[in-house]
Amino acid sequence: MTREEQVKEVGRRAGARVVGIAAVEAFRAQVPEGYRPEDILPGARSVVVAGGDGPTAGAWRCPDHRVMEITGYDLRENVAVHAMCDFIETTLSYRAIQAPSLPVHGHEPPMSMMHAAELAGLGTRSLAAHIILNPEYGLLYYAALITTLPLEPDAPLAEPACPHPGCAAMYKRIGTTPCLRVCPACLAGKVNDGRIQESTYDREKCHSRAQTYGIGSFQKGLLQIVNEDDPERRRTMIYGDFFTKSLQSLGFFRDSIAQCFECMRVCPVGRKYRKLQ
Amino acid sequence: MANLPPNATATLKSVALKSGALVCGVADAAVFAARAPEKQRPDDLLPGARSVVVVGGAQPREGDWAATSPWVLQTMGTTERIQGVGRRLAQYIESELGYYALYVPPGTASGDTPFLSLMLAAELAGLGSKSLAGPVLNRDHGFMYWSAVITTAPLEADRLEAEPACPAPPCREMWEREGTTPCLKTCPSSDGGCLSGKLENGRAVRTFYDAARCNTRVHTHWVGGFQKVLEETLNEPDRDRRKMLLYGDFFTRSLWAITYSSTNIAQCFECMRVCPAAHGLKEMK
Amino acid sequence: MSVFKLDPDVYKRYKDQVLELCNSFQRIDRPGLSDKQIAERLGLDERTVTEIRCVAERDCYSLDEWEKAIEFKRKATLEWSALALKRPDLKPE
């Protein structure tokens, strides 16, 4: 087994659906200084990216959207990253760190997992919120590690996963695609000759949907509460469903991770894995 | 009443290591009385306690210490990986050995008071000794995170570590030369930091530790910061300024820390980063 | 001294520009600028830009948008369920 295969096998056994490798140099083209793997770990040579499953097929079929609001994630790709980091440090004696991916200033993380997934050949950007779609599995969640271990990188995908041929045909017919049609509030785009010609994404509006109950809603609710002079109205705000759910999502982080799946629900990429008995 | 099978302690330690601990030791519950305050002793949590099993591991990787981005150590905390081992051992002791076991919760009973000092437990289980900077350091593995299980099982207790990891030889030399050590120099209480101490007859003697200041560094973004901004917001008469406080970077980040445990576990490692006994004990490429 | 607090007047003056330049409104072919890059462009210090961005991200839409989000998801899920699961009884009003 090559070293690359060894590392990937450790990741897959730990629960990753897919594993890919990118060279640190590849990040320089589009990533501003301060956010590149080599800015984070001196001597970094490679970034290994793990993609983990999203909601189960059964969860997608639930008519109550609240279910997926609080069960979307099992963070398996992070477990895979830890397993690979341990392997790289203890067995191969190279430095490895879990890439810091949680936001540290507002909505900005220190490193983009989406971009890492693209460069590691695990998927391409889509019309739907620029989510990285794996051509086989569709929506996956990504985590990465940065290491001083030199590894042969995988190439970015030559063929984009989006648009799906069905979506390209739909665009030709009626000028829209399933994701653009379901969520025009956050998404806009154009398809030409089976390729994305233009695509825009309103992240802040999407935030109100993808994290309806979370840190942001808590802040907004709290500001409203402190600005309310009437004690009775304040009381109803504090104890109301919205603020209560916002607090709950702070207490149980899994409740806050991802709360809107509508653009992905209608996406045909990877849908075959959601057809079960 | 159940009796312990032969080699029970050794078998338990083997289970701990297979579960992911780097080290496992046992302390006699009775010896805590001399050093732990009332209400923080094993018997206070589990009446009839005889032993405290301590596991260490899940420490930052060598890559984490080498990272130049402060966000790595601050947001990718790994201590929960050792908590899972502790829980597993508690279940093992009860199901396989038939004795009561209580997994010590890693949080606080109230304020900043722990249920049981995990650092003291690690020392008494022979897994390390207190350093000048504060954390318990293991001679072979340096800085680690700890988890503990109190049990009524009469396990074989380990001895205290004979030779402490701190002060490390480079620190002794530095003390001779400059009258300070790397950790004291990085965070001196004489200059707005948390630590002061000395080496005496080759032993580290901590003379001062500003826990409250250390808290503002280890938990910069956490409950305390949240409370402070909330207080300031409520006292702020101008609505625009209230928005600046509640939507601002500090409060947003504090909320992230409250929500995601990896972002709140520890947010300052500077005394350990410079410590030659805490990490870098293995040659890395 | 307290935590870094943004002057509301500075915030109002620069918030739209900062939002425009960062990753809030994304184009697939153009990455947003970092806080440092925005600071250089607007002649501000990086810390101020970070603070403006954090407040502006949260301030961009009012709580009305959150209410719309709740309703959007409820309806979208039910509409899809009615169609895909062949359950017309689930179709929202």
pLDDT, one tens digit per residue, over B257-280 is 888 877 777 889 999 999 999 998
Do B18 and B140 lie in one domain? The reply is: yes
Do A228 and A137 lie in one domain? The reply is: no
Do A7 and A138 lie in one domain? The reply is: yes
C66 vs A contacts (CB less than 8 Å): 208, 212, 217, 220, 242
- Closest CB to C65 among A63, A208, A266: A208
- Range in A85-94, A171-180, C79-88 with the lowest mean pLDDT: C79-88
Bridge partners for A132 per DSSP = A125
Residue A125 sits at φ, ψ, to 5 deg, of -70, 145
Angstrom distance (rounded) from CA A32 to CA A24: 13
User: Within an 8 Å CB–CB cutoff, is residue A173 touching chain B?
Assistant: no
Do A123 and A27 lie in one domain? The reply is: yes
Do B142 and B225 lie in one domain? The reply is: no
Do A8 and A142 lie in one domain? The reply is: yes
Asked whether the beta carbons of A89 and B63 are under 8 A apart, the reply is: yes
Neighbouring C-alpha atoms within 13 Å toward the C-beta of A233? 9
A212 vs C contacts (CB less than 8 Å): 66, 69-70, 73
Nearest residue to B247 via CA among A238, A208, C52: C52
Do A143 and A218 lie in one domain? The reply is: no
Give the closest-approach CA distance of B231 to chain C in angstroms.
12
A194 in a structural domain: no
Do A220 and A141 lie in one domain? The reply is: no
| pLDDT (0 to 100) of residue B75 | 85
- pLDDT tens for A180-196 read 999 999 999 999 999 99
B268 in a structural domain: no
pLDDT average, residue stretch B1-21: 91
Domain boundary, last residue among B103, B126, B151? B151
Bridge partners for B101 per DSSP = B151
Average pLDDT over chain C, rounded to whole? 92
pLDDT average, residue stretch B110-124: 91
Strands B23-28 and A195-202: unpaired
The amino acid that residue B102 corresponds to is L
SS3 B71: helix
B111 in a structural domain: yes
Give the closest-approach CA distance of C86 to chain B in angstroms.
39
Do B115 and B238 lie in one domain? The reply is: no
Cβ of B244 and C50 within 8 Å? no
Which chains touch A (3+ CB pairs under 8 A)? Answer: B, C
- pLDDT tens for C42-84 read 999 999 999 999 999 999 999 999 999 999 999 999 999 999 8
Interface test mutation site (partner A, options B229, B256, B269, max chain A beta carbons within 10 A) = B256
B246 in a structural domain: yes
pLDDT band at B74 (very low <50, low <70, confident <90, very high): confident
Give the closest-approach CA distance of B3 to chain A in angstroms.
37
Name the one residue in this structure whose structure tokens are 């625009």.
Answer: B240
A246 in a structural domain: yes
pLDDT average, residue stretch B124-149: 95
**Rounded to two decimals, what is the model's pTM?**
0.89
A265 in a structural domain: no
Do B132 and B236 lie in one domain? The reply is: no
B251 vs A contacts (CB less than 8 Å): 219
- pLDDT tens for B158-197 read 999 999 999 999 999 999 999 999 999 999 999 999 999 9
A105 vs C contacts (CB less than 8 Å): 35, 50, 53-54
Angstrom distance (rounded) from CA B229 to CA B244: 11
Name the one residue in this structure whose structure tokens are 């402070």.
Answer: B228
Bridge partners for A138 per DSSP = A134
- pLDDT tens for A212-264 read 999 999 999 999 999 999 999 999 999 999 999 899 888 877 777 889 999 99
Which chains touch C (3+ CB pairs under 8 A)? Answer: A, B
Do A9 and A141 lie in one domain? The reply is: yes
Strands B136-138 and B129-130: antiparallel
Cβ of B232 and C2 within 8 Å? yes
Number of domains chain B contains: 2
Per-residue pLDDT at A132 exceeds 70? yes
Average pLDDT over chain A, rounded to whole? 94
- Closest CB to C24 among A203, A216, A262: A203
DSSP B243: H
- pLDDT tens for B43-72 read 999 999 999 999 999 999 999 999 988 888
Asked whether the beta carbons of A59 and A274 are under 8 A apart, the reply is: no
Give the closest-approach CA distance of C25 to chain A in angstroms.
5
Do A132 and A21 lie in one domain? The reply is: yes
Asked whether the beta carbons of A74 and A52 are under 8 A apart, the reply is: yes
Name the one residue in this structure whose structure tokens are 């799946």.
Answer: A261
B258 in a structural domain: yes
Do B21 and B123 lie in one domain? The reply is: yes
B284 in a structural domain: no
Angstrom distance (rounded) from CA A99 to CA A145: 5
A172 in a structural domain: no
| pLDDT (0 to 100) of residue A150 | 98
> Would you state the structure tokens that stand for residue B276, as one six-digit string?
């030659």
Residue numbers of the domain that contains B80: 8-151
A225 in a structural domain: yes
pLDDT band at C2 (very low <50, low <70, confident <90, very high): low
| pLDDT (0 to 100) of residue A68 | 85
| pLDDT (0 to 100) of residue B2 | 60
B269 in a structural domain: no
Interface test mutation site (partner A, options B71, B232, B273, max chain A beta carbons within 10 A) = B71
Do B112 and B225 lie in one domain? The reply is: no
Name the one residue in this structure whose structure tokens are 């409104």.
Answer: C25
pLDDT average, residue stretch A48-54: 95
Do B147 and B254 lie in one domain? The reply is: no
Do A52 and A130 lie in one domain? The reply is: yes
Do B113 and B247 lie in one domain? The reply is: no
Do A141 and A17 lie in one domain? The reply is: yes
Per-residue pLDDT at B155 exceeds 90? yes
> Strands, DSSP E only, in chain B?
23-28, 51-57, 101-103, 108-110, 113-114, 129-130, 136-138, 142-143, 145-151, 195-200, 203-209
Do A101 and A232 lie in one domain? The reply is: no
Residue B194 sits at φ, ψ, to 5 deg, of -110, -15
- Burial readout A244-276 (b: 16 or more C-beta within 10 A, e: otherwise): ebbbebbeebebbbbbbbbbbbbbbbbbeebee
Do B128 and B238 lie in one domain? The reply is: no
Does the N-terminal peptide bond of residue B167 adopt cis geometry, omega within 30 degrees of 0? Answer: yes
- pLDDT tens for A53-84 read 988 888 888 888 888 888 767 789 999 999 99
- Closest CB to C50 among A105, A182, A242: A105
- Burial readout A185-208 (b: 16 or more C-beta within 10 A, e: otherwise): ebbebbbeeeebeebbbbbbbbbb
Asked whether the beta carbons of B58 and B156 are under 8 A apart, the reply is: no
Burial of B234 (0-12, 13-18, 19+ CB in 10 A): exposed
Chain A 77-106, CB below 8 Å of chain B: which residues? 82, 85-86, 89, 93-98, 100, 102-106
A163 in a structural domain: no
Do B233 and B145 lie in one domain? The reply is: no
Do B141 and B31 lie in one domain? The reply is: yes
Does the N-terminal peptide bond of residue A163 adopt cis geometry, omega within 30 degrees of 0? Answer: yes
Number of domains chain A contains: 2
B202 in a structural domain: no
- % of chain A residues with pLDDT over 70: 99
Domain boundary, last residue among A96, A115, A147? A147
Say how many C-beta atoms besides its own lie within 10 A of residue B212's C-beta: 10
Angstrom distance (rounded) from CA B133 to CA B182: 9
pLDDT band at B97 (very low <50, low <70, confident <90, very high): very high
B26 in a structural domain: yes
Cβ of C58 and A220 within 8 Å? yes
DSSP string for residues in chain A: --HHHHHHHHHHHTT-SEEEEEEGGGGGTTSPTTSSHHHHSTT--EEEEEEEE-S-HHHHT-S-HHHHHHHS---HHHHHHHHHHHIIIIIS---EEEPP-S-SBTTB-SS-HHHHHHHTTS-EE-TTTTPEEETTTEEEEEEEEEESS--PPPPPPSS-S-S-HHHHHHHHHHS--HHHHH-TTTEEEEEETTEEEEEEEEHHHHHHHHTSSSHHHHHHHHHHHHH---HHHHHHHHHSHHHHHHHHHHHSGGGTS----HHHHT--TTGGGG---
Per-residue pLDDT at A141 exceeds 70? yes
Angstrom distance (rounded) from CA B85 to CA B19: 6
C59 vs B contacts (CB less than 8 Å): 243, 247
Average pLDDT over chain B, rounded to whole? 92
Residue numbers of the domain that contains A111: 3-147
| pLDDT (0 to 100) of residue C1 | 60
Q: Which residues contact B212 (CB under 8 A, 6 or more apart)?
A: none
pLDDT average, residue stretch A101-118: 94
Do B132 and B229 lie in one domain? The reply is: no
A129 in a structural domain: yes
The ipTM, to two decimals, is 0.85
- pLDDT tens for A8-29 read 999 999 999 999 999 999 999 9
Give the closest-approach CA distance of A160 to chain C in angstroms.
13
A186 in a structural domain: no
